[in-house]
Every structure is written in C-alpha cells, then in structure tokens.
Structure 1
Amino acid sequence: MTVEGQQVERLRPTPALVMAGAMVVVSITLFLGNLAGPWTPLFWNWVPSIGTAVAAAVVCWRTATGPGRDAVGRRFWRLQALAAVLIGLGASGDVRQAAAHPNGSGAQHDLPTTILYCLSMAVLLWAMLKLPVIRHERRERLLRFAGDALTVMVTVGLFAWYLTRHAVSASLAGSDALPVIVLATLALVGVAAVGKLAMSDLGGLDRITVRLLAGATAVGAFGAGLFPLFVDLPPGLRGSQMFTPATLLFLAFAADRQRRAAGVAPVERPRRRFGVLPYLAVAATDGLLLVISNAVGDGALVVALAAVCLTALVVFRQVNALRENGRLLRRLDANLVQLNQYQHQLTHRATHDGLTDLANRALFEQHTRDALAAVAAWGAEDSTLSLALIDLDDFKAINDRLGHAVGDAMLVVVAQRLRECVRAEDVVARLGGDEFGLLLHGLRGDEATEVLARITEALSRPVHALGYDLLVRASVGLAEAWPDASPQELLRRADLAMYAAKERGKGRHAVYDAELEQHQAADAQLGAELRQALDRGEFSLVYQPIVRLPDGKWTGVETLVRWTSPTRGFVGPDKFIPIAERTGLIVPLGDWILRTALRQAMAWVQQFGDDAPHEIGVNVSARQLREPGYAETVRDALAESGFDPERLVVEVTETAVFDGGVALDALQMLVTLGVKVALDDFGTGHSSLGLLRTCPADTLKVDKSFVDGIGGRSEEAVIATAMIQITNGLHLQAIAEGVETAEQADTLHRLGYRFAQGYHFSRPLSAQQLGDRLTESMLAQATLTTR
C-alpha cells in the first residue's frame, strides 16, 4: 500500500508474529476450556502471556534498531520492548502464584507481580507522553492529558468502589481487590493517553500504528477492569489470562507496521474539535448510577433517570455548540488559507516583473544585499559574487517601428533565454524597460565572463516575436564583488562596464576595472566642463569646402564644431562629441551649431550672392534625431535665419538610422520641409545597402578609409568603384571624403566621382577665413572679366 505517495512494505508474517498469534489462540482455547469446567492446571492459563510477551519484545526491539528510525522513534520502541518484558515477568509471577494455589484460592497478583505490571503500564504511558505532538504546545498537551487522566481516574475509582462493595465482595477481599483496581485504573489512563495521541498529529507514528496501539490499550483495559463486571468467573480464572496475550499481539502488530512504514511521512488528518473521552466517562457513570438506583428503589430510579436525561440534554447542546464552532473554525481556516494565497500573490506581484515574471529591481537589490552580506561574512577567498547588467541595444527602435506588443514579446523570449543560461541559484531580474540584471553566485571573473559569452551567443539567435524574426544585440557590463562592497557601488560599477561595452560597438561585454574608473572620472569631469563651455560660448564653427571635380570649384561646405578650453586647450571632436552624446549635451550643442551655421550661411548669401556656397551641411547625431520635435526645431531655425531649406543638408551616420523608428520618421519630416539628407561615412556601417531603400538620402559621402588606398589595385579601389556605380544607378550624388593628394582626386574623377572634400582642396576654415577666400575669388574673377 502507499502512504503520501510512497510505498509501504507489505505484511510478511515473521516468526515472532506467528508465535504471538499462536499464543493468543492457545490462551483463548485454555480460557474457554477451563471456563466450561476444570480442564488443565490453572497455571497453564498464564503461560501464553509469557510467550506473547517475548514475541512482542522481539518485534519492538527489531523496530527500534531498524534503519530510518530517528532518536525519538528508537526510544519509543525500546520502551515498548521493556514494557513487554515487564509484562512477561509479571505473567511469570502469575504462573508461580497459580502453581502455588492450584484451586484458585490465592490472590490474583502478589505484590512483586503487581509492581511489575504497574511498572509496565508506567513505561507504556511514559513512552506515549514523550512522543512529540506537532499541533499543540507541550504545556497545553500536558494540561489536556492531565484533565482527561483525572476524568478517567475518577470514573474508574467510582467503578472500583462499586466493584469492591458489590461485584467482587463475594470472591475477593478488599486487599485482594486492590491490584485489580490499580491495574484497571492504569489501563484506562493508558486508553486516555493513546486516545489523545490518536487525536493529535500522530506523534511521528504511522496512522495504522497508532490505531493498533489504541486497540492494544483498549483490549488490555477491558480485560483488566470491565470484563469481570459482565462475566462471573470461577476461582483462579482471570480475564487477563486471555486479554494480556491479545494486548501484546496488538503491540507486536503495531511495531511491525511501524517498521514497514519506516521513511514514509505520516498523513496529516484534520484536527478534531473536541474529545469524546469525557463524554464516555459521563455515560459510564450515568450507567452505573442507573444500576445502583435500580437496586435502591423506584423513587431513586426516577431521580436517576431524570439526572441522566438532563445530562444527555446538556451534552447534546454542548456537542451541537462545539460542532457549530467547528464549522465556524473550518470556515475561518478556509478564509485564512484564501487570504494567505492572496497575500502570496500580492507579495509575488510586488517583487516580480509582471511581463517576464523575473525578479524586479527591488527584489534584485534585496538579493544583492543578502549576497554581499554573505561575501562579507565568508571573505573573498571563500565566497564570490558577480553582478552583470544587460541592456538591449536599440530596443526603442523596435518599439517605435513595430509596436510595444512586439517589443514585449521579444522581452519575454529574452528573459527565458537568460534563465536558460544561468544556474538555479543565480538571480535573473528585469530592472526596467530593456535592462536586465544577473547575480552570479560562486563565479569569479573568468567564469562569469564565460557565462556572459554564453548569454551573448544565446541572444544572437533570431527572436520570433508575433510573426517577426528579430536580431537582438545586448551590451553587458560585469563587476565582481569585494568584502566591503555596497549594492549601490556594485551596481554602479556594472553600469559603468555596460556603457564601456556600448562604446566599443554594442553587442559586446566588458568587465569593470580600475582603468574604466579613471576613464569615467575623466569623462565626468569633461562632461561638467562641456556644460560650462556651452554656457560660456567656448565653442566655435569651422567649415570645410566641398568641391566639384575636376576644376575644384566650391559647391558647398560642411560645418564642423571646435572647442578650445581655457584649461585644456584644443579638445578634438572625437573626444568630446561621444561624451556630449552620453550626457545629452549634444541636444543643446547641436541646436547651437544648427542655428549658428544657418545664420552664417545666410550672411554669406547676403554678402556674396551667387558666389556664396550653394549648400551647407550640418552633422546631426542619433540622439538629436530621437529627440521629440526635432523636425520642428529645424523648421524654426530655418524660419529664424531666413535660409532656403533646399540649401540645407543634414548629415547623419548609417548607425543613427539603421533601426528606423523615430530617427527615420524625423528624417522623413525634414524632407517634407525641403531639407536634403546625406549619409555620412557611408560604407562603414553594418547594413548600408539596405538603408538606401528606406532612408530618404540624396547624397552618399564615401568614407575616407576607402579613399586612402584608391591609387592602387586594392580592395578599397574596388569598393569605391562599386559605390559610384550604385549611386549612379540610384541617381544619388556621391562625395568622396578625405582626399589628400592630386593623384587621389584624378583617380576619383576617372572612376566617375564628381564631388569631393579633403585637405588637398582645403582644410576647415573659420567663417572669417572662408569669407576672405570668397572675397579673393570674387576679386580674381572681376580682374579676369575686366581684362
């Protein structure tokens, strides 16, 4: 059979159980034979008790020493074996007593035998009381048992008094009846003990084992105390001669059942709301009262019947009240269970992300604090911890282009893949938006880096989200904890490493080190100075001409920003532009560049007329294009300066509009204003040809890296040739950047390029220098005209 889903060994009769069963059959046979008339010497009636006691002691000891038993179980079954041995010794005393008085004239038990039987009952009670009870506190258990034991003792004492005066007075003297009264009282107290145990959580015993123990005590108590009330036995014949072996057989079966159920968790059953033992005691007393009243006379019997009826009515009312209380308590328990479930759900919602079911930021920070406390306690040599921050690159573009439903579906898949890449003891959390956190336990830097590489590989596989196959790239930063680390500092270091990974080209991971800290501090200082430089007007603009091939006539200019710091001196754009983008200063800086360039271009038009540069190009970053209302900002700047929108060229990089979304929408709005679009550094991005179908570009500016080697039979020359063919086929204008020699200019013209810029034609010029050059050009042209 099974208990709690576990297999219990089937009953296989052992020699000890067979012996105990045989002794019970023998005892019944001898008892019934001698009850009908003298059949065998009376001492033989006590012999089966000795054999059954030996068998029960063997089974109990085997259970106590068997595998899977805890200390409490071993003690309990050893005490049961001791009690069986004491009963066997008591039965030996009865054999000796019966042999000494073959006609049954002696006392039922002499003093040593009575002491042995009392000790056996005391050992049984002690063993049961020492069992742990799960539901009740120890004090409450003892008080309830003491009350029930006193109830039983009062009831048994009353019956013993009546038995002594009426029932056994004819066959036993008062002193001879004392052992019977004592043993009956102890037996019924044992029934109370097992009854209370059976109503608890089984005290660690198997449920069937408890039932068998209860049966043993009930059989023993009935045979010792109540059986003589119903049967008039001949001298020397005692009910215990038959009931003691039966009691020991129940004990042997209980021990064997517990041995076979070793390692199987006991089944918890509903707690009873009230005990029946006090009511049984009242019922027994009422029965005795009716018996005595009937012997006294009719008047006493009527009063007794009335008292019994009143007692029954009170018990009935109390039982109904207890049952109602029980129903209320069960309803309360059900409500509490439901409330606990709601509480658990609320707690889960408060600590987990609703979309991915990962831990949220609050729970992640709590796990981080707990883990750091463990690191501090054990030391860096014994406990390691690494924290990683993961940011999905260009996720906003997916939301803007495909909708938030697709973005959410992608986040769910990403969360599942992150779970699959880490162990069960690691923590994966969604910290907000497209940012995730990992807490890696017991992994040092190199091992944690292997996990990050595994995550990068897992995310590189296309993600299927609502019918779209999306490529996911993520920048990951890793920081390793130290004994005195704080959660905020550890998160800051991981965040710093993550941004370092983004700067290295996205789709990468970086590990925090001291060099990153130095760069961060330097960048932070530079960012603060950038803010001050913008307020103080320390920026200036220079303009590099774009010329026509082969005559070199200026057709336009590209606007470039320069910064000369009072403390640092000249700071290159390659250094301060990335910091301006990270800090968001590129937005106000870009707005200043646009408005200043447009005012300057309009001034040239007013001064030089048709000789002024026809177009002016302004570089725009991805951050500016994603700024809400950027197209309106350009429109306002054009209106403020009065410059012709068709002569303004917005230069953007391929990566700025690769993912479409808001950036591409902003370019479309600019085109509707008449502004032209040029793809800057064309050829260095990851999907340049695909952009030509979606981006509203008028011009491609071929990167300097393809121009440098154009003079020979190099791959750059092949690429440059292919690009001019593409632009011609798509009716786009191509501008070659970074032309530094006449040979390069000639080759580009021969390949089909008609526009270029670079140091070969002119270095970037200030507004004053460019104006002077335009003046010189106009004077030279006027001189030629006069000639």
Structure 2
Amino acid sequence: MTTGDERRVERLRPTPLLIAAVAVLAGSIILLAVNVTEQRTQAVWGWLPAIVGTAIAGWACWRAASSPGLDPNTRRVWRSLSVVCVLIVLGVVGDTRLAVTNPHRPDGLDYLPTSVCYALAMIVLLWALLRVPIRDRAEGDRIMVRFVLDAAIVGITAAIFVWYLASQVRDPWNSDGAAAVPMIMLMALGLVGSLAFIKVTISGSGGSDRVALRLLAAAAAVGVAGGALFPVLFDVRPGQSGSQMFIPGTLLFVVLAADRQRRAAGMPTPRRRRRSFSAVPYVAVAATDVLLLVVGHAAGGTVFTVALGAVLLTALVVFRQVNALWENGRLLRRVDANLVQLNSYQSQLTHRASYDDLTDLANRTLFEQQTREALDAIVPGETLSLALIDLDDFKTINDRLGHAVGDALLIVVAQRLREAVREGDVVARLGGDEFGLLLHGLRSGEATEVLDRIAESLTRPVHALGHDLLVNASIGLSEVWPDASPQELLRRADLAMYAAKERGKGRHAVYDARLERDQAADAQLGAELRQALDNGDFTLVYQPIVSLPGGEWTSLETLIRWKHPERGFIGPDVFIPIAERTGQIVPLGDWILRTALAQAAEWQETFGDRAPGEIGVNVSARQLREPGFAADVRAALADTGFDPEKLVVEVTETAVFDGGIALDTLQNLVTLGVRIALDDFGTGHSSLGLLRTCPADILKVDKSFVDGIGGRSEEAVIATAMIQITNGLHLQAIAEGVETAEQAETLHRLGYRYAQGYHFSRPLSPEQVSEQLRAASVLPV
C-alpha cells in the first residue's frame, strides 16, 4: 500500500473470488447465447450462474465486513449486503422454479414470491444505507430531503419509461399487466438503491470507500434496470430472462466493490468538496422531455409543436437555474476559502495565546492550566513535581552581546530542556529567562536526577550567533501534597529556586518547611531593614589598612553595623543578602557612600595631612547594575567636596566576572578618578583574565589564604603567587584578616606591604578614629 498527500489504494490484483465471478459471468453469457434460438440445455442451467454468482458476491461482502479497521456503520452496511445477496439467491431460485415448471405462461401470482424476495433485498439495502449517520446533523437533514426528492423523481421517471416501453414499443408480457408491475417496481427500487449509494458517498459519512460505493451504485442501477428492460428490448424465448445474464454481471460489480473496500479498510477518508447542485433531477427532466418529443411527434404537428415549445422552455429554465447554481457554488467556494483562511488565523491566534513565540514552548497561562488539570486528575499515591529554572546572569549576556544572541541562547536552552524530560512531561517558558517543568510520576530522588541531567545538559557550551556561551541555571523543585493548588505549587518552587541561587550558581534546591521559615524571617527582617534605614538605626565603623612592617595607617575600609532595638546586633552577613534580594541595598548603599564621604571629608578638614589617605566603600553587584550609579557617586562626591582620587570602591570579583553593565559602571568610575579594589580575591570566579578586563588598582587577598600562612606551605605558595601577579601587573596588594604577628611577619617576608586585620585594629567608630588620629600621625600612601 502506498501513501501520499491523498489517499491511494493498492492496484487491483486478481483474487480467487474475483476470478470466480468473472468466470460465472462468462458462463451465463455463453449459456444465453447457446439457447437464444432454441433450448439446447435444461432450463435450470441458464439460472445456475446467477445463483452461484450471488453466493460468491455474498461471501465477498461478508469478508469485506470482517476487514480490520472498519467503523461499526460501514461494517453494518457490508453485512447487510450479505443479507441482500441471500435474498437475491432466494429470488433467483424462485425464477429458476418458474422457468423449469411453467416456462410458457406463468401466472402473475407466480411472480409474487420472487418479487417479494427482490423487494426485500432492496428494502434491506435501503434501510442499511439510510441508517448511516452523517457527521453534521443539519447537513444530514438537508441530504435526506434531497435524497427523498431525487428518489421520487427517479421513481416516477422510471415508471413512466417502463410503462411506455412495455405498452407502446413491445408487448413481451402479452399484455399481462400483473407480470409488468413487479418489473417496474424492481427497476424503480434499483435506481433508488443507486441513489442511496450516491447519498452515502456524497455525505462523507461512515468509513466506506467512495470507489466501492460507486461500484455498488452501478451494480444496483445496471442489474435491476437491465434485467427489467431486457425482455422489453429483445425477443426472448419462454423460460429465458435477462436476469440470467444481468444478475451475474451485477454481482461482479459487487465483488469488485467488496474487494476494493477490503483493501481500503482502515485508511483515512479524504473530505469531499461540496457540490453546488445534483444532476439527477435534470437528467430525469431531460429524459422525460425526449420521451415527450417522441410522443408528440407520433401524435401530430400541433401536439409536437406544443411539446417542442415546452421542452425549449424547460431547457431555458434549467439552463438559467444551473447557471445560478453554478454562480452560487462559486461564491460558496470563495466563502469556504475565506472561512478556511479565517480558521487558520484563528488557529494561529489560539496557538500564540498558549505558546511562546520564540521557543514554541507552552507559556505561563498554558503551564498553569496544565498544572491545574494535572492536579485535578491526580489520584492518591501518584506523584507530581514542578520545577522552576532561572538562567544565571542571563541579563549580562543580553547587555553585553545583544538581545539577538540572548534569544538564540533561549532557543537552544528550550531544546535541551525538551530533550532532558520524558514524553508527557511539560516544558514551558514562563517569561524572560525563566522556564517551568511539570514532571509526572517521579519520586523526590528521581526528580532530582532529572534536574541533575538538565543542569549537566546546560553546562555544555552553547553556540549562539557566533558566540560560545556557558550557561548555569538555578532550579527550584516542589512536590505535590494533598489539596495542593497550582499557585502554591509554583510559589514553593519559586522559593526553592531562590534558595538555590543563594547557595551559588548552577545549583538546585527542593522545597521544605525550613525554606518557608527562612523566607518568613527574611521578609520580616526586610521590612525592619527599611524601617531601620528611616529611623537611623545603622552606623558605620572603619577598619584601618596599615603598611608593613610598621603598622602605620594608610587608609580606612568602611563597614556597616545594625543594632536592632529588640534583636540586638545583626551581622552584615545576615542583612546584606536580604537587602540585595529585596533591592534595598540600593538606598542603603547610597546612605553608606554619602555618610562615609561626609565623615572622610570632615576628617580631612579637621586633621589635614594626618587624615587617612583613602576611604574604601563596599559596593554590591546590584548597585553596579543600577542605571546611573556612576552619576550618583559623582553627585555624592560633589555634595561632600571629597577628592575622587581618595575614594576606593571595593567590589567582589563575582560582581564583575561576567562583565556587562557592572564593568561599564567601573569604567565610568575610573573616569571620575575613583580607584577600584577587587575584594576577597581568590574565593569567587577567580580568573587572570579578569585582572586584564577589570580596571582594578588594588587586589585584596582573602582571609582564607592568610589563615595558617605561617604553618602550612600551601597558603604560602598561593600568597607568593598572588604578590608576584600584583607586582607584575603594578597592582597594590592588601592582605585581609591578619590576626597574628607571625602572619604579618610572613606576609612582609613574601613581599606584601599592606594589610588589615584584628592584629592591627578592630573596626572603630568615628569617634575612636578621631581619637586615634589625634594621638598619632598617619603616613600617606
């Protein structure tokens, strides 16, 4: 069997049943020809091919009904055809009995049993065909009305012709009207049966093959009509009938139809184009007009003239109506084309309303709907997991490389997410660089394995518009619980995702109650932080940076402290991350900068050259990404009158590792004259390339490399390497967290000239700094 844009059925191949049907038809023709002048064989032999051919057709119909892939309606039609063949066999047996027992002059009542069998056969056929449902109820009603009208037209036309031919052209029944009536009835029923097949074909109902139905329609028309007209048109001997030849011929069509249906079973039925009108009424009118002209010609000039005029008027009316119907059909086809186009637009709009334009993943609306449906359908004991995925530092890629590269990256990420999950799981783009997953039937451990697989797939370099990019993602997972709602499931996954971000990039976290408590505490602390800033509960302290080996002050690093009225002292490691997540680090950082600059300006005015040479202020990654941060620093310097060259902005290497706006902000600060220090160097995304791209002047070596420097060689090796790097790059190196004299001595021996830590001084309040400045001189840097 071949397939293509349209349905194709394998070519007709001779089958045993088809060969047998052809042989039976050939035998019937030979027998009829042998006995046409005189009866040379027994009468029963002339009817035997009809009986055998009908039996073959019945078996072929039963086989077609048993074909796999048929719908119930089509199967019922072909089984009914088997019953029809059985009834025809009974009718032919009756004809055979008449031909053998009384071939010369059978009584009209003798035809009744056989006529009843034939009539029942047609009625069963009509009943089966007319019970076939039609997809569109309104369309079905219209088709049924048209069928009834066409059937009436055909029936009346057939009756007129048969009666005329029987009474005027020939007298084959010796003016025995009783014998003519069954033949007229059978011919009318046969043509009506043809219409029934055509009705099923054009209605597009059921799964019957259209070619098979056309073959059946031809069988019904040719068989019954030919059998009825044969004795009218040809002289036949007593005991002979056209049925002896036309029944095998008819059933050959039936076998062909059954074979076609069997080969086409289970294949999709193409939709048939709507017809603008039916040709049946016009054919009937044309045939009747021809008969009218024949009768009029025989009747004389006047009658013929009137008949000719009526025929011409009828022809003009038909032509006008057909032209109008054709125009209506053309307009309907245009309307259909417009409706198809509108449906296409509607489908596109529906798709765009539910799917993301860029990645073609489900959007947030569809994802929430599918989550709701999954929760409604879940049964006790089943599991459902929801994961939220947020790409780390995606904004940096957009800012540095442009949105086109960012979009190309999102497309690749979407494809990798599809490949990482199973069929039936849901992948969605919820907006920006945030994706959602709906995982069915996975336990906690299995779900985290999926997340590990996703994280691993994302770590492979992504080639986007000529750029090779590395992607990390923070993933949060929440699992279903009784009475879970889509909104709460999403909220828990979101909470877990932010917990993963806090633990570092490229990680995932699973929701638990502890995260809920932490969030509540963070939310409460965030609200209190805003209030503390308004109430002036924050204070600044300053830790000296000294020169080695003497320990003279060279500059101060600004540190913030918060003494809560109820909780007491809250460390920066607690409230600074909350301030960054809530965005309050921006106003808090602005307050720190202005307060420190004002204090440093006051010390310069009071102590002159004895004031600290520089003041260092820590700036977060969030502040660096704020538009206009460099302009805010310029305004603060102008308002306080502080020298820009004595301000040191301290940033972590993580804040500027990915470049983008943060790096551009640092470049703008350098333009102002501000110095840049890389804080906690070595603990984040350490890269020598960063030292080339970041406009740093100072490198602050993290405390973790200073601890134990006097007792273990590893720290000494790292510390030595760093001082060599800073010397080679002409950077100032400052060792942090020096707590013992031994550490200070070792650092000096390794080449360090600046340090800070508790060994030299703890952070001091502004008053303590002023006291120290009064008591001793401070050497310039």
**TM-score greater than 0.5 by the shorter chain:** yes
1:700-737 deviations in Å (ceiling 9; x for gaps): 11111111111123311211111112212222211111
CA–CA distance in 2 between the matches of 1:406 and 1:64? Answer: 60
1:109-159 deviations in Å (ceiling 9; x for gaps): 522222112111212222222334446644333322222222222223333
User: 336, 344, 349: which is aligned to 1:346?
Assistant: 349
CA–CA distance in 1 between the matches of 2:660 and 2:545? Answer: 31
Question: Which residue does the alignment assign to 1:80?
Answer: 81
1:693 matches 2:695: no
The aligned amino acid for 1:753 is Y
Question: Which residue does the alignment assign to 2:439?
Answer: 440
1:207 touches 1:267 (CA, 8 Å); kept in 2? no
Instruction: Name which of structure 1's ranges 257-266 and 538-547 shifts more when overlaid on structure 2.
Output: 257-266
Question: Which residue does the alignment assign to 1:527?
Answer: 526
CA–CA distance in 2 between the matches of 1:473 and 1:195? Answer: 65
The Cα of 1:680 is off from its aligned counterpart by 0.9
Distance 1:692 1:105, change over 3 A: closer
The aligned amino acid for 1:715 is E
Question: Which residue does the alignment assign to 1:784?
Answer: none
Question: Which residue does the alignment assign to 1:257?
Answer: 260
Question: Which residue does the alignment assign to 1:294?
Answer: 297
1:579-607 deviations in Å (ceiling 9; x for gaps): 00111111111111111111111111222
Tell me, which stretches of 5 or more residues in structure 2 are unaligned? none
Instruction: Name which of structure 1's ranges 707-716 and 429-438 shifts more when overlaid on structure 2.
Output: 429-438
Describe how 1:248-647 pairs up with structure 2 within 5 A: 248-375=251-378, 378-379=379-380, 381-382=381-382, 384-647=383-646
The aligned amino acid for 2:369 is Q
Describe how 1:158-177 pairs up with structure 2 within 5 A: 158-163=160-165, 165-167=167-169, 171-177=174-180
2:215 touches 2:253 (CA, 8 Å); kept in 1? yes
The Cα of 1:650 is off from its aligned counterpart by 1.0
Instruction: Name which of structure 1's ranges 41-50 and 686-695 shifts more when overlaid on structure 2.
Output: 41-50
Question: Which residue does the alignment assign to 2:158?
Answer: 156
1:226 matches 2:229: yes
CA–CA distance in 1 between the matches of 2:175 and 2:354? Answer: 77
2:43 touches 2:239 (CA, 8 Å); kept in 1? yes
Question: Which residue does the alignment assign to 2:735?
Answer: 736
The Cα of 1:405 is off from its aligned counterpart by 2.6
1:3 touches 1:267 (CA, 8 Å); kept in 2? no
SS in 2 for 1:121: helix
The Cα of 1:361 is off from its aligned counterpart by 2.5
The Cα of 1:62 is off from its aligned counterpart by 2.6
Question: Which residue does the alignment assign to 1:125?
Answer: 126
Question: Which residue does the alignment assign to 2:56?
Answer: 55
1:89 matches 2:84: no
CA–CA distance in 2 between the matches of 1:230 and 1:458? Answer: 84
The aligned amino acid for 1:722 is A
Describe how 1:131-210 pairs up with structure 2 within 5 A: 131-134=132-135, 137-163=139-165, 165-167=167-169, 171-201=174-204, 203-210=206-213
The Cα of 1:30 is off from its aligned counterpart by 2.9
Distance 1:292 1:258, change over 3 A: same
CA–CA distance in 1 between the matches of 2:338 and 2:136? Answer: 20
CA–CA distance in 2 between the matches of 1:32 and 1:125? Answer: 34
The Cα of 1:8 is off from its aligned counterpart by 4.6
2:426 touches 2:437 (CA, 8 Å); kept in 1? yes
Instruction: Name which of structure 1's ranges 261-270 and 161-170 shifts more when overlaid on structure 2.
Output: 161-170
The aligned amino acid for 2:467 is Y
Question: Which residue does the alignment assign to 1:707?
Answer: 706
The Cα of 1:748 is off from its aligned counterpart by 1.3
Distance 1:203 1:294, change over 3 A: farther
CA–CA distance in 1 between the matches of 2:689 and 2:521? Answer: 38
Task: List, as ranges, runs of 4+ consecutive aligned residues in structure 1 with deviation greater than 6 Å.
Answer: none
Distance 1:32 1:312, change over 3 A: farther
CA–CA distance in 2 between the matches of 1:272 and 1:36? Answer: 49
The Cα of 1:105 is off from its aligned counterpart by 5.4
1:582-641 deviations in Å (ceiling 9; x for gaps): 111111111111111111111112222222211111111111111111111111111111
The aligned amino acid for 2:168 is H
SS in 1 for 2:615: strand
The Cα of 1:177 is off from its aligned counterpart by 2.0
The Cα of 1:455 is off from its aligned counterpart by 1.3
1:187 touches 1:224 (CA, 8 Å); kept in 2? no
Identity %: 67
CA–CA distance in 1 between the matches of 2:98 and 2:272? Answer: 47
> How many residue pairs end up in the alignment?
776
SS in 2 for 1:764: coil
1:677 touches 1:698 (CA, 8 Å); kept in 2? yes
CA–CA distance in 1 between the matches of 2:17 and 2:694? Answer: 94
CA–CA distance in 1 between the matches of 2:206 and 2:464? Answer: 56
RMSD: 2.3
Instruction: Name which of structure 1's ranges 390-399 and 737-746 shifts more when overlaid on structure 2.
Output: 390-399
SS in 2 for 1:765: coil
Tell me, which stretches of 5 or more residues in structure 1 are unaligned? 782-787
1:654 touches 1:679 (CA, 8 Å); kept in 2? yes
The Cα of 1:280 is off from its aligned counterpart by 2.0
1:131 touches 1:204 (CA, 8 Å); kept in 2? no
Describe how 1:65-76 pairs up with structure 2 within 5 A: 65-76=66-77
1:369 touches 1:486 (CA, 8 Å); kept in 2? yes
Instruction: Name which of structure 1's ranges 172-181 and 716-725 shifts more when overlaid on structure 2.
Output: 172-181
